[in-house]
Structure 1
């Protein structure tokens, strides 16, 4: 099969997906699952050169991560989150750290030869969730609105909250290998995190104020806000990177600063994420299947499979259950929220980010394989159960409205 035929297949699948997208939301097949498997099949048929696919993946992954972090942060209403959304507060402030802690403890047992900080790094990479893999739950009116909102808010915020931990544990992993430079690595990582956040927040707030000023005077139009979103996200990343901060954290902080200046964040910015953002996300899943899944499958081992299973079936559900103790969330609600925390784009992109930045990590290839296989398993399991669970169990979540 030639590359032209492969591109023809991708184009045809994309067209069919767009044509039947609404019907697919009620089926066991999701967009990320479809494009991930499509990429894997094309890789097995040797349609494309894997070297070229890997280069394309790294470029698209960085662009997608910058825009997703900025966009997710820009639609967060901090005031409403503090006042009304008790469940997301608990899952983010308690559940997320608990997931990292439990994941680290499980990893120490399953990967006894690994350095502790590297195990903690893997736990942090596997912590963020991706609502795109369970979209049938987030958008299905059969599921109580409060449950959907809790899942949606959590998945939009936890990737940005997890990133500092990923960078910190990555830096400490390297410091553990070169103990004389422990303090230098720690200071460098903390500087990157703090400086990136400060630069991003300032640029995002300033850019948002400029855009609001132009719109109020009739110089701009709402339909062009997507362009401003991309441009401002790119500026936050590039300026922070040039100045010595972390560009990805700057993008997240920039999105939060930008969102604080906007009155219509829930409408226009959501529209952007549902269109242009979806294209980038599905394209990245395609390249993950094409470039990473075949190599990750070859790296399967019993400890890796046990770690992935524990992450999906034990770590996240237990962390969420414990974090919601003392709230009005019933047992079924806790189980539902705990299960529908699929691992996807952020998990794989964080793994790629950290191995690109820190070449001396001793288990860098295995880390990418674990992240890739977790996303693959999550795409299949959560994607296949999302529509069914929303229909059959959503109406039974009493008291969640």
Structure 2
């Protein structure tokens, strides 16, 4: 165990030394950590076993997504969203359902073994996007602010919106044997508990933080941990009560951001750093546990669906959704392309497997393949296409 910890700690330290320079290249942090995980795993050097780390990856992915859901919801500037709602609003209200519908049809066409609800589950798992894999775009000051804000808001909110949709389709699929009414009752219970727990804990926690902060009771060191602790408390409490921890984290983040107001960014800054670290460790374990078996088991249908999911299924609905906004085709294609798949999709796979959905392994393999392709394609194109859209928006050829 200590040998593995030494290797992991040394690798993280070495990466941190060159992290800034790597951000300017076509090689992203997740790409490096997945590759390192594969090389350190049982398929190559064998420094990490391939049988036990999958449990750790589930825990890391769970906590990381809960933290990101809370942070993204807290950072959602409702004032800015009201002023510049057109791009994210259309992508969420039109593009997202369109992507689920198109992904559903593609799944039915390519996977004859999937039921109607299973095809819908697969499409929903891959409709959620991960802004971390396109970080070079949303943090690039050369990219017009309306596009950065649009992608940031869309990626921050769409995974939270996909959670109840995913639970609905799982309930309908599992309800074929236990009764749909029973499945839908469980869905309403999970969502209701998640909303009550998330909103309740954040109202109490946010209020206490404001009062204690005004009285000078919170040290500068510990104030950085308040957001992390509250986010995980929302998630874990809801899960322990058989509710949706993801809904709790998302709802809690919205309430917390409202209460914190202008102090939100300062309060969530440390949580963002912790979330980034957890995400990279998850990617390393993804390389250890998933990449080797994926290479051996991927079929032509899996590969084709993954490519369609990243291109036609994602791009077409959003290009159509943005018609009439005044945005040129280049901008609409740019916004449609940058829908990376990442941690949310991985966690959704875990939810599906734990629910015992019959063809869960086929769907898990497809999601893993899509995430791997996204990791490479979106990571490699983030900086070049960011520079390209900046020139196009400025009127340069």
Which range, TM-score by smaller chain?
over 0.9
TM-score normalised by structure 2 residue count: 0.94
Match of 2:164 in 1: 164
Q: CA 1:80/1:144 → structure 2, altered by over 3 Å: closer, same or farther?
A: closer
Q: Against the structure 1 CA distance between its residues 323 and 266, is the aligned structure 2 distance closer, same or farther, given a 3 Å change threshold? A: farther
Q: What's the counterpart of residue 17 of structure 2? A: 19
Q: Find the aligned partners of 1:372 and 1:54 in 2 and give their Cα distance.
A: 13
Q: Distance in 2 between matches of 1:237 and 1:270?
A: 16
1:287 aligns to what? Answer: 285
Map residues 304-319 of structure 1 onto 2, 5 A cutoff: 304-319=302-317
Residue number among 373, 380, 386 corresponding to 1:377 in the alignment: 373
Name the counterpart of 1:302.
Answer: 300
Q: Is the 8 A contact 1:296 1:370 kept in 2?
A: no
Whether contact under 8 Å (2:340, 2:374) holds in the other structure is yes
- Looking at structure 1, the residues matched to 267 and 298 of structure 2 have their Cα atoms a distance apart, in angstroms, of 39
Contact 1:225 1:268 in 2 (8 A): no
| 1:242, distance to aligned residue in structure 2 (A) | 3.2
Q: Which residue number corresponds to residue 207 of structure 2? A: 209
Shift of 1:270: 4.9
Structure 2 contact 40–47 (Cα < 8 Å) conserved: yes
Range 62-71 or range 304-313, more displaced: 62-71
Deviations 1:221-243 (A, max 9, x none): 45533311122122212322333
Separation in structure 2 between the aligned mates of residue 326 and residue 340 of structure 1, nearest angstrom: 20
Counterpart Cα distance in 1 of 2:75 and 2:93? 19
Q: Does 1:103 align with 2:99?
A: no
CA distance in 1, matches of 2:8, 2:203: 39
Asked whether 1:183 is paired with 2:203, we answer: no
Give the Cα separation in 2 of the matches to 1:298 and 1:349: 22
- Give the conservation status (yes or no) of the 8 Å contact 1:61–1:284: yes
Quote how far apart the aligned CAs of 1:273 are.
4.3
Map 1:233-382 to 2 at 5 A.
Answer: 233-356=231-354, 358-359=355-356, 361-382=357-378
- 8 A contact 2:225–2:270 mirrored in 1: no
Measured on the aligned residues, the alpha-carbon RMSD in Å equals 1.8
Where does the alignment leave 5 or more consecutive residues of structure 1 unmatched?
A: none
Report the secondary structure of 1:343's partner residue: coil
Query: Could you report, residue by residue, the CA deviation over 1:177-235 in whole angstroms, capped at 9, with x for unpaired residues?
Result: x1x52210111112211221122112212211111111122222455333111221222
Equivalent in the alignment of 1:391? 387
Question: Could you give the per-residue CA deviations for residues 231-284 of structure 1, whole angstroms, max 9, x where no partner exists?
Answer: 212221232233332122111111111111002355214522442111111011
Contact 1:297 1:369 in 2 (8 A): no
Distance 1:339 1:164 in 2: 25
SS of the counterpart of 2:127?
A: coil
1:60 CA drift (Å): 1.5
Shift of 1:6: 5.2
1:129-168 residue pairs with structure 2 within 5 A?
A: 129-168=129-168
Moved more, 232-241 or 248-257: 232-241
Shift of 1:10: 3.3
Decide whether the 8 Å contact of 1:299 with 1:366 is kept in 2.
no
Cross-structure match for 2:61: 61
Q: 1:311-356 CA distances to partner (integer Å, 9 max, x unpaired)? A: 0011111111111112122211100011111111111111112212
- Structure 1 residue 395 displacement after superposition: 2.0
State whether residues 234 and 248 of structure 2, in contact with CA within 8 Å, keep that contact through their aligned partners in structure 1. Answer: yes
| 1:118-147 per-position Cα deviation (integer Å, ceiling 9, x unaligned) | 110000000111111111111112211111
What stretches of structure 2 of length at least 5 have no aligned partner? none
Change (3 A) 1:221 1:80: farther
SS at match of 2:179: helix
